[in-house]
């Protein structure tokens, strides 16, 4: 049977060649490295846009492993991850899915927001995350042994999981878990200044706004403003948009439709800037 | 493997050659241009028929980019957006979806009412809306890098979103957000007169009716009468229908089935005209 | 790629050659004609069997346009309306759906009970119902421009719509709306006599029964007896069935299973006849 | 395109050659014949096993029309009724569904328990049940005109319809409706004796049991014992089973699992026999 | 069109050649035989593991009919029962489903736990279970007449049917119904001793435990311990497991997860053994 | 028809060649062996990560049988287990599913978390788990007799089963049931030391933490910390991570998102270490 799998050369596309900009907050890099060498799967927990994806890219670069990222969603099936047969002309050809590719070449496979995936997707990773470390490819009736370099990383945002979408204990207890939060203010300002192309002073103002907005959580705001949105505001300012207008479209409107909350955030903005 | 993608020439069909009629209300054109040049995705928020679609057409014309519009709905899947394999005779041929076409040629992709789409559709845009700016085409196992000219725009009507259909924070916090509302009265009258082919005076009357009807929101009316419906009324009047009859079929019956509300609107109409 | 679309000749099957019997009640024909010439889509609102379908046939005949009717239902998908690829022997052949056929040949497309259709079906008509007037055929990656003669008409029965099945404002506000009700008594008697083949006197009796039964609405009866059922009763009488028996099987049993309501209707029948 | 439709000869399989045993209760045969000649669709309402199916067979024989019966269920789709394309070797061949066959050859099409079918199935019959009398075959893009001999009959059991499964008024008001109930005692005894192969005396006992059990409706029993079950009891008796045992397995156990109700029915049985 | 149906020879696989071990409890064999000769379908009602399946095997052997058993489940469709077209190379080949095979060769078709099947599966048996005795194979447009030897048997466990999964009266009233329960103690001990390979004395102890556990029904226990589990316990004892341990893993743990109930059952076990 | 089944040689991949590390807790190995020789199916009940999978591997090694494990999930269908036809070029080829492979070669088939599978999957094992011991392959119309060496084992975690996902009694009563729990402390410390590569002293500390955390069950904690997580903590410590940090990421964060519970667990950790 014919098969279409990524060649050794194509996998190189997934290798990160330039050092991603990442400023460590605590011992997360040591923990990740220890887990990698102990061949343990890792779960990154934390709010939206706090740097989990960037952290994985940084670690993939540091460990010199290709990184294959899959954004999970309700319709992501085990077949999407593992692979499928496709008819090509008169031939049925096997196509590896991204998880199989990662196992085959010892890459880091990053399942972003794993809790969003269908249950079969979550279960397919079970034999990869215990002492067996192998992927059954049921459609082909074979088993793929994971090389030592293969690593599974998942992310998970505990902030807005409903009971219906919680991860089962039988899945959770397969991961070493690293908790993330927004970077401390000075570090966040450094990130915003650098990525947004503005002065450190202006970045500090934006970070201050971010902190104050995050304090609104529990007062009607579902989740705080992310580091990413602070960078958006900075980028608009760097393109000549007035700081207050930039903060409004990047920090107020995206996170809430509520008129009262928008007004509160606007007050925070005008107080700071 | 064969593939059927839009040729460079066919994409020109999507370029807007005549300046669309659009009267700016605030700083929305500057914000959109800054976001375009900073390569940030944009979300347009606002009620039905207030001019969001027209604004995108206007900006696409101003930035000289092809515009690919997708009306989102409950059954719109990631596959519909990205592309699929189709059997043609004995050959399996790849067909780009509209999002892939937009990425390939650096067009503006406008996902209208994005919240209506299936979750997988919403998640597929994640890697396009952060620093990665690339579209994984999982079915082909490739990655498509977005050129600088590619821009993603989504629209969203916060007025009647249910909790079940809200956008997740992890999606919302990927967009710069511009808020829209109905145009101010004089501007709206100008638009209605021009597009409806009636006198400015008559247009002012229709706009006045529109304003009064919009005040009924919160008194049983789900959403106000749109600028589009005001233009409809104008067009019927221009075709010789009596103004009161035209206003009734264009401004009362379309927005409510409730007999009492219809009567209230009719009273507004007869008071003004 | 091969395609199988209706030939210019086949579309003639959909042209109405004999004037349908229709007696106007108000200004509905003028409104419809004005909307047609202004290229506005029209929504017909009203109860079951009051003549909406007949009115559309009459207007299609008057405007000399082919009429393509689609009875909407829960499983009607956008694909059903727009078209699909089918494998014929070794060839994949495109088949136009009824909406595409109507756009291609400038016919009137009548979506009966549009609220019953799936959401994707409802959304597919959006670009046809604003200034763009075009149909994106996503499966073929093309756009079909509607000729000036194309018109979209939908029907909608506000009587028994549940909240779950209401039309969204973003759809409603795309239509000029004409409201229908049962014809006034003398007109209805004329229709029943003519279509049922009975004397005007007997028809007046049936119409009187109809009016009295309609008054039971709100007293357990979901919807009144339709003009169509009055004609059924007439036709059975014309075939020799005793008037009371005919009225019972045509006017009482079809509209309710409730024994008490059936008894009330029977009393109305025996009082009148 | 090839097609596989029933030949004129095969349709004869569906013609009923021997007079079915049916004893009329009221004017139902006259009503049915009048509706047939007036080309009106008919709905038969009544409880399980009271003779609706037999009545249709009898009328089909009397009118000398082939009878095509479809047992409706939740998964019965419009496609199942109308027809579909099937791949045969290298050829796509059209296969008529049972409704199309009935229209093509002017048969009586009997949709048993129509309320169980999917909504698209119910809606597909709309254009067949008004003045148009034609079947749109959307998959082929054609219209099939019904010949005068074609008749649509549906059955409906109002006893246990839930609100979720009620027929819409827009469907109900398309039918002339004949109501059925169990035959009167002497008639039912005659039927049971003849079909069950027992003496009229014994049949009268069984019918008496049936009547008494039917009186338990509203006291925990969902529906009464059908004429069919009375015949089953008779047939077991005719095969040598003791009358009490036969009555128990045919009249008590099939209709209820409730021990108390079973005991009540057993008491009825032993009192009568 | 090619077809792949069981040959006369293959059906012999389904014939039961050795007399199954079955000890009659009442008049069930006579009732079954009478129903078979009167061509009536039979429903077997009773709790899990009380011998319904074995009884059907015994009757199939006694009547010398092949037995085709189908375990019903939520996804069992009419197509699974009746048959489907499959593509083989370039040819579309018809494959009989198990129900069609049974009708074709006059076998006994046993639908185990019929209430679990999808509604379309349940409805497909309607024309086989009235005077028509024929199976419409809609996908092929043919009718299969059942030979006199064909018999339909279904099983049904009234103990844990929810309201959602109850059989409709229109289905129930098509069957003669035989009720089953666990065998009387002495008979059950004989069965356990014989099938489990232990002494009659030990078997009596196990049966006594079974009886006492069954009395816990209504005190938190959903269903009693089955004859099958008693045989399991016996088989473990015959393999050298200590009687108390064997009773625990066969009679306590399988039927409940509740610690208190497990303790109660353990007390019963240690009191008896 | 072609078929693609595992060759005798490929099945050897599933044979466990090295003795898995397993320390028996009670009489579970004798019970399993007795069930194997009596050809009885076995259900293993117990919490996540307590060693059920390892136990099956150990028994498969001891009985020298290939072991085929299937992780069950909501979308696992009977077809996935039994097999399907796939088109290869111009040929339809049968592919055995894992259950069929296990039956064909007399392997042990282990359905992990069987309650997660779809109902049809659960029902397909019924004829394999009673005296028939055969697998109907309905798609091929054949029966596969299980050789004496075939054994079915399922696992089941009674801790977090909802009512919706409980196993039916008709399924449960087909299994001999062995209950598992976490190993006793000294045994667990031995396992953690050996598998985690740390000193027995440190392992005892981790086990003590584990015991104390398990006591939090019923105080907000859904399920206790598994032996597997204790080994994870040990492995991180063996890689140089400080014991407190290792315990936090392996024993606190994976099992709960609750800040208060995390604090309680951290207190337990710092008290012990």
Reported confidence tier of residue B68, pLDDT bands at 50, 70, 90: very high
Write down the pLDDT at residue D65: 96
Cα(A95)–Cα(A86) distance, integer angstroms:
7
* The predicted structure's pLDDT at residue B4: 61
Q: Is the pLDDT of residue C148 over 70?
A: yes
Predicted confidence at residue F92, as pLDDT, reads 72
Share of chain A above pLDDT 90, in %: 61
F38 closest CB neighbour out of E69, E229, E239:
E239
Least confident of A78-87, B151-160, C255-264: A78-87
Q: Residue F167 — very low, low, confident or very high, per pLDDT cuts 50/70/90?
A: confident
Using alpha carbons, select from E35, E187, E255 the residue that is nearest to residue F166. Answer: E255
**Residue among D1, D35, D138 whose CB faces C80 most closely:** D138
Q: B touches D (3+ CB pairs < 8 Å)?
A: no
Closest of D235, A46, E71, C268 to residue F136, by C-alpha: E71
Q: Is C53 within 8 Å of C16 (Cβ atoms)?
A: no
pTM of this prediction? 0.79
What's the whole-number mean pLDDT along residues C100-127?
88
Average of pLDDT values for D181-200? Answer: 95
For D37, the closest chain C residue by CA position comes to C239
- Which candidate from B80, B86, B249 shows the least CB-CB separation from C178? B249
- Which partners does chain C have (≥3 C-beta pairs < 8 Å)? B, D
Nearest to E120 among D76, D87, D250 (CB): D76
Q: Is residue C2 scored above 70 in pLDDT?
A: no
pLDDT reading at F141 higher than 80: no
Q: Retrieve residue B228's tokens.
A: 């589009």
What mean pLDDT, rounded, does chain B reach? Answer: 88
Long-range contacts of B139-142 (CB under 8 A, 24+ apart): B139/A95, B139/B79, B139/B82, B139/B83, B139/B84, B139/B85, B140/B94, B141/A4, B141/A6, B141/A10, B141/A95, B141/A96, B141/A98, B141/A101
What residues have CB less than 8 Å from E270, skipping those under 6 apart? Answer: E244
- For chain E, the average pLDDT equals 88
User: Region C194-220: what's the mean pLDDT?
Assistant: 93
Q: Which residue has the higher pLDDT, C138 or A171?
A: A171
Amino acid A215: pLDDT: 92
Give A162: exposed, middle or buried? Use CB within 10 Å, 0-12, 13-18, 19+: exposed
Closest chain F CA to residue A40: F232
pLDDT over 90, % of chain D:
61
What is the interface pTM, i.e. ipTM, of the complex? 0.87
- Confidence bin at F48 (pLDDT 50/70/90): confident
Three-state secondary structure call for residue F105: helix
Q: What is the CATH number of domain B2-179?
A: 3.40.50.300
Contact D87 E87 (CB under 8 A): yes
**pLDDT: is D242 or C77 the higher one?**
D242
Poorest-pLDDT segment among A72-76, C13-17, C127-131, D12-16: A72-76
**What pLDDT score was predicted for residue E201?**
97
Which pLDDT score is estimated for B201?
Answer: 97
pLDDT at F217: 84
Over residues B5-64, the pLDDT tens digits come to 656 567 888 899 999 999 898 999 999 999 999 999 999 999 888 889 999 999 999 999
Those chains having 3 or more beta-carbon pairs within 8 angstroms of chain E are D, F
Residue D227 confidence (pLDDT) above 90:
yes
Please give the structure tokens belonging to residue B175.
């967009």
Residue C86 has pLDDT above 80, yes or no: no
Q: pLDDT digit string (tens) for D1-22?
A: 466 666 656 788 889 999 999 9
Give the confidence band of F241 by pLDDT, cuts at 50, 70, 90: very high
| Contacts (Cβ under 8 Å, ≥6 apart) of D242 | none
Q: Residue F229: is its pLDDT beyond 90?
A: yes
**Mean pLDDT of the region E193-218:** 95
Higher pLDDT, A139 or A268: A268
B160 vs C168: CB contact, 8 Å cut-off?
Answer: yes
C190: its two tokens = 């004329």
Question: With 70 as the cut, is the pLDDT of residue F253 above it?
Answer: yes
Substitution target from C32, C176, C218 for chain B, most B beta carbons within 10 A: C176
- Has residue E50 got a pLDDT over 70? yes
The yes-or-no verdict on residue C44 having pLDDT over 60 is yes
- Angle at which helix A185-196 crosses helix A200-214, to 10 degrees, equals 120
The distance from CA E31 to its chain's CA centroid, rounded to whole angstroms, is 17
- Give the pLDDT band (50/70/90) at residue A3: low
pLDDT at E22 over 80: yes
Mean pLDDT of F135-140: 81
Q: In this predicted structure, what is the pLDDT of residue D171? A: 87
**By the CB < 8 Å criterion, does C85 face chain B?**
yes
Chain C neighbors of D78, CB-CB under 8 A: 73, 75
Give C139 or E263, the one with higher predicted confidence. Answer: E263
Q: Is D90 touching E (CB cutoff 8 A)?
A: yes
State yes or no: pLDDT of D237 exceeds 70. Answer: yes
Cβ contact, residue pair E126, D71, below 8 Å: yes
Whether residue E157 has pLDDT greater than 60: yes
What does residue F137 show for φ and ψ, rounded to 5 degrees?
-100, 85
> What pLDDT does residue E2 have?
61
Indicate the residue of C37, C138, C172 with minimum beta-carbon distance to B239: C37
Residues of C in contact with B232 (CB under 8 A): 38, 40, 176
- What does the H/E/C string look like for C17-84? CCCCCCCCCCCHHHHHHHHHHCCCCEEEECCCCCCHHHHHHHHHHHCCCCEEEEECCCCCCHHHHHEE
The DSSP-derived string for A197-262 is: T--HHHHHHHHHHHHHHHTTBTTTBSSPPPHHHHHHHHHHHHTT--HHHHHIIIIITTT---HHHH
Residue E250, pLDDT score:
96
Q: What is the dihedral of CA E76, E80, E81, E84, to 10 degrees?
A: 160
- Does F95 touch chain E if contact means CB atoms closer than 8 Å? no
Which pLDDT does position E271 carry in this prediction?
A: 95
| Partner chains of A (3+ C-beta pairs under 8 Å) | B, F
| pLDDT at residue number C170 | 84
Span A190-222, pLDDT tens digits: 999 999 999 999 999 999 999 999 999 877 787
- The answer to whether the CB atoms of E4 and F168 lie below 8 A apart is no
Residue B222: phi and psi, rounded to 5, are: -70, -45
> Looking at residue B3, what is its pLDDT?
66
Neighbour tally for E94: CB within 10 Å: 17
Cβ neighbours, 10 Å, residue A9: 7
With CB atoms and an 8 Å threshold, state whether F169 touches E96.
no
């Amino acid at each position: 049977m014919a098969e279409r799998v990524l060649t050794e050369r194509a996998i190189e596309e997934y290798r990160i060649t330039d050092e991603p900009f990442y400023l460590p907050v605590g011992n997360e890099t040591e923990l990740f490295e220890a887990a990698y060498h102990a061949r343990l799967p890792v779960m990154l927990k934390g709010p939206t846009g706090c740097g989990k994806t960037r952290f994985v890219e940084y670690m993939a670069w540091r460990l010199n492993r290709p990184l294959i990222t899959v954004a999970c969603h309700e319709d992501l099936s085990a077949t999407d991850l593992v692979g499928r047969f496709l008819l090509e002309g008169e031939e049925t050809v096997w196509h590896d899915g991204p998880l199989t590719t990662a196992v085959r070449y010892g890459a880091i496979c990053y399942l972003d927001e794993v809790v969003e995936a269908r249950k079969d997707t979550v279960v397919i990773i079970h034999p990869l995350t215990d002492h067996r470390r192998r992927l059954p490819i049921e459609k082909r009736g074979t088993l793929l042994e994971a090389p030592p370099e293969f690593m599974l990383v998942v992310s998970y945002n505990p902030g807005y999981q409903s009971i219906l979408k919680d991860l089962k204990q039988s899945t959770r207890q397969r991961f070493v878990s690293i908790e993330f939060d927004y970077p401390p203010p000075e570090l966040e300002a450094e990130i915003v200044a650098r990525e947004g192309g503005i002065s450190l002073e202006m970045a500090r103002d934006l970070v201050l706004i971010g902190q104050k907005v995050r304090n609104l959580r529990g007062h009607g705001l579902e989740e705080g403003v992310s580091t990413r949105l602070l960078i958006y505001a900075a980028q608009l300012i760097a393109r000549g948009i007035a700081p207050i207008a930039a903060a409004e479209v990047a920090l107020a409107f995206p996170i809430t439709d509520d008129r009262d909350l928008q007004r509160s955030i606007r007050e925070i903005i005008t107080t700071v800037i």
